[in-house]
Amino acid sequence: MKFWRALAAVVVLTMMAGGIAMAQVVLAKDGKSLYRIVVPQKAIPSERYAAEELQRYLERISGAKLPIVTDSEPMGSHEILLGDNAHLRKLGIQFDFAKLGTDGFVLRTFQNHLIIAGGRPRGTLYGVYALLEEKLGVRWFTPEVEFVPKMERVELPVLNETQVPALEYREVFWTEMMRDPDFAARHRLNGHHYRLTEKHGGRAVVFYPFVHSFDLLIPREICEQRPEFWPMIGGKRVSGYVQRCLSNPDLVKLAIERVSQWLKEHPEATIIDISQNDTGNWCQCPQCKALDDAEGSPSASIIKFVNTIAEAIDSHIRYETLAYQYSRKPPKTIRPRPNVIIRLCSIECCFAHPLESCPSEENRRFREDIQAWQLVAPVLYVWDYTTNFAHYLQPFPNFEVLQANVRFFVRHGVKGLFEQGNYSPGGNGEMAPLRAYVLAKLLWNPDTDVQRHINDFLHGYYGRAAGAIRAYMELLHRQVREKGYHAHIFEPPTVPHLNNDEFLDSAERLFDEAERLAESEEIRFRVQVARLPVWYVKLATNRVTGDERADLLRKFLSIARKAGITHIREWQTLDDWAKKMGAE
Ligand SMILES: [Zn+2]
Ligand SMILES: [Zn+2]
């Protein structure tokens, strides 16, 4: 046993030495390169863009601008081969592109060549980003802050690896990721809300409509004419922002017509959403109730309704519905048709501790529901929550569960993950740039080294203040980790893990230190933005009074406005909040 272990170590060392000493690929040296970038003659836009991105960044790293040619030219001695390339066949190399799917890729060195070959439409572009990021050390922290290393000698070890993401649909719903589609693509995010175009390989999913669609499907004006379409609650039909009576045959007929119309009007859609409004108020008329009671959940009426529409319309389109709040439990016997996606929502859960292990009743119930859906949903997506929605600027101690939860979802067969955060126009919610960055890394690879990404980001974004910010994060998470407090997404700033002297005083000291350590005004400002949540708790809990309060509020608003923050919570602007707080 020991002998084998020793031998294995020697083999690894020899390979590493070989990789470094005889690096097969020296992409550039002293500002010059022997290489050219070769794209297929029939490259799709994202493969041509992949070549341009590679050219751009390699030039910034090495000073050498590599030419871009097509594979109709004769094979050269030193090539970077992109995509399904004719020169691969000259080298006698074949890849099973189907296995790479739409987003996966191979990175491989072969003789003097480097191969970046991905599935269409996004794989090759993602392969270029993986090379730049994981092999050459480029970092994209925010659309404005990136790190590009400068190297006199750009070399690669022997490479032969394949990456195919576990999640087909990856969406970090934070402003930091949404405001720049180039940036989202660099993080290999492919969701609905990014303005991804052909050059990025487009989006993996295009919804129409985007969730909570009952008002659009059966408009209120129609229900005014046909009151029996409204849900029956407590023995009478109830109007307003409510659900619909899904067992009414005329309503079902109308819904089928409406969805057929949508398909004509929105040829870009790949998924039609038929899902409950963002409220309770579901129908309990005798027909609806009888089915839901027999099936043990109001999801029965919804799944039956969606199935009926999917069955009536002859199309390969996929449908989506929510398993959300009152509909979170699957029905006992009714099964979603094969082209119906279930999007399960974790809104009630504790996010201070992993979904998998938090002993709270809400997390225990969520575990039950996801296990049940995993067995019956043809495709399972999850809508997950990663900030406090009542207070975007309140410290939210969830960094220690992000990886555990993404892994938990993937282990339960989830194929698409939507991570909702502060998506307001101004963004800059609590630790938003860091959280968006870490989530993107996790959605690509749930087993990635999160601590390394956090450290990379803190050093890249906060410079010399990184250590103090890290200490603040540790202080915040210690409040829930050690004292056993749970954390939910609508909690007020008065919760004991935030509204206590030990936390607030220590946090202020760490941010004083961070501001002192910051090496530039630009970095000091980033630290001040990260500090706002501590002041937010002090202001919102009235821990400061009189002139001290007026002063802190003034400082808070001045930094928040300079940072472009527009919203204090999902439905309240910063300006409205400022008025309510008595700002002059
Ligand atoms: Zn009904
Ligand atoms: Zn908990």
Round to whole Å and give the CA distance between 56 and 264: 41
Ligand lying nearest the CA atom of residue 404: 2
Round to whole Å and give the CA distance between 529 and 462: 11
Q: How many CA atoms lie within 13 A of 343 on its CB side?
A: 23
Q: Which residues pair with 38 in a beta bridge?
A: 69, 81
Ligand lying nearest the CA atom of residue 301: 1
Ligand lying nearest the CA atom of residue 483: 2
| Tokens (6 digits) for 296 | 């043990």
Report how far ligand 2's centroid is from the alpha carbon of 363 (Å): 8
| Dihedral sign computed on CA atoms, order 561, 562, 566, 570 | negative
pLDDT at position 584: 74
Q: Which residues contact 133 (CB under 8 A, 6 or more apart)?
A: 139, 140, 186
Report how far ligand 1's centroid is from the alpha carbon of 65 (Å): 66
Closest CA to 397 of 490, 480, 453, 466: 480
Q: Which residues contact 260 (CB under 8 A, 6 or more apart)?
A: 313
pLDDT at position 483: 86
Strands 113-118 and 79-82, by their bridges, are: parallel
Ligand lying nearest the CA atom of residue 355: 2
Q: Which residues contact 505 (CB under 8 A, 6 or more apart)?
A: none
Ligand lying nearest the CA atom of residue 245: 1
pLDDT at position 482: 87
Report how far ligand 1's centroid is from the alpha carbon of 384 (Å): 29
Contact, 510 vs 468, CB < 8 A? yes
Q: Residue 172: enclosing H or E segment and its boundaries?
A: strand 169-173
pLDDT at position 16: 42
Report how far ligand 1's centroid is from the alpha carbon of 286 (Å): 7
Ligand lying nearest the CA atom of residue 302: 1
pLDDT at position 22: 57
Ligand lying nearest the CA atom of residue 488: 2
Report how far ligand 2's centroid is from the alpha carbon of 459 (Å): 30
Report how far ligand 2's centroid is from the alpha carbon of 387 (Å): 15
Chunked mean pLDDT (size 10), the chain, 584 residues: 38 40 83 98 98 98 98 97 97 96 98 97 98 98 98 97 98 98 98 98 98 98 98 98 98 98 97 98 98 98 98 93 98 98 98 97 98 98 97 98 98 98 96 98 98 98 98 97 93 96 97 98 98 98 95 98 96 96 87
Q: How many residues would you count in the chain?
A: 584
Ligand lying nearest the CA atom of residue 351: 2
Instruction: Count the helices and strands in the chain (H runs, E runs).
Output: 21, 21
Q: Alpha-carbon Rg of the chain, whole angstroms?
A: 27
Q: Which residues contact 256 (CB under 8 A, 6 or more apart)?
A: 308, 309, 312, 313
Report how far ligand 2's centroid is from the alpha carbon of 493 (Å): 17
pLDDT at position 15: 40
